[in-house]
Amino acid sequence: MSFHLAPQADLERGITTLGGRRLVFHCHHYNVFLQRTIEDALQERAPRLLVAAGMEASRSMLQGREGEAQSGSAARVLQRAADTFAAQGFGRVDVRQLGEGGGQATLDHSHYAVGWVSRWGKRPAPGCFFAAGFLAGAVAVAYRLAPERVTSREVECVAAGDERCSFRVEVW
Ligand SMILES: [Zn+2]
């Protein structure tokens, strides 16, 4: 079976899927407003929830996509995940420093960072929670790890005034 980067549109049922998971398309206005609503409500508990939600949604989708692919090496799985992330408009992530033990990743043109700054200006702390979760999900899928073994957090963020967004993925 071939590997498709593009989502699959089912015009009969009016749904679009990627890796067997349904997609919903939103602009940065919607996404950063939703994120801000969750952060305002949950305060310090919000980052953990947002990263976990991003990880689970991404892990499920990427697992489904790898079921369609001739998987190959873990590095190829990670690169396909990065290409998928970029194709969906979330930014270009460099995953070459990620491995079975985790590692560092950098993100250029982050959808959430650019969206946040354009809507509300700088924020006091990193804000690309979905990207952090996506990277954790990608590492879990690439190395066939139980999701609870992988954590990810953003250590630098354009939305917080840093030059780039960067992430630390850890495997326990
Ligand atoms: Zn960021």
Nearest 5°: the CA angle 64, 99, 105 is 90
Enumerate residues with CB within 5 Å of ligand 1 (an ion). 110, 113, 128, 157, 165
By mean pLDDT, which of 9-13, 68-72, 108-112 is the weakest?
68-72
pLDDT computed for residue 70 by the predictor: 67
pLDDT computed for residue 1 by the predictor: 39
pLDDT tier for residue 167 given thresholds of 50, 70 and 90: very high
pLDDT computed for residue 51 by the predictor: 98
Token pair, residue 110, equals 């982050």
Where do the domains of the chain lie, and which CATH numbers do they carry? 8-171 (3.30.1380.20)
pLDDT computed for residue 25 by the predictor: 85
Q: How far is the CA of 92 from the centre of ligand 1 (A)?
A: 12
pLDDT computed for residue 19 by the predictor: 82
pLDDT computed for residue 39 by the predictor: 97
pLDDT computed for residue 2 by the predictor: 45
Q: How far is the CA of 163 from the centre of ligand 1 (A)?
A: 10
pLDDT, tens digit (0-9, with 9 covering 90-100), for 117-156: 999 999 999 999 999 999 999 999 999 999 999 999 999 9
Q: How far is the CA of 164 from the centre of ligand 1 (A)?
A: 7
* 3-class SS of residue 150: strand
Mean pLDDT across the stretch 89-95? Answer: 97
pLDDT, tens digit (0-9, with 9 covering 90-100), for 22-60: 888 888 899 999 999 999 999 999 999 999 999 999 999
Q: How far is the CA of 133 from the centre of ligand 1 (A)?
A: 12
What residue type is assigned to position 149 of the chain?
R
Task: State yes or no: pLDDT of 91 exceeds 50.
Answer: yes
Q: Which carries the bigger pLDDT value, residue 133 or residue 3?
A: 133
By mean pLDDT, which of 26-40, 59-73, 87-101 is the weakest?
59-73
Candidates 137, 168, 131; CA nearest to 153 is 168
Q: Are 51 and 153 in contact (CB under 8 A)?
A: yes
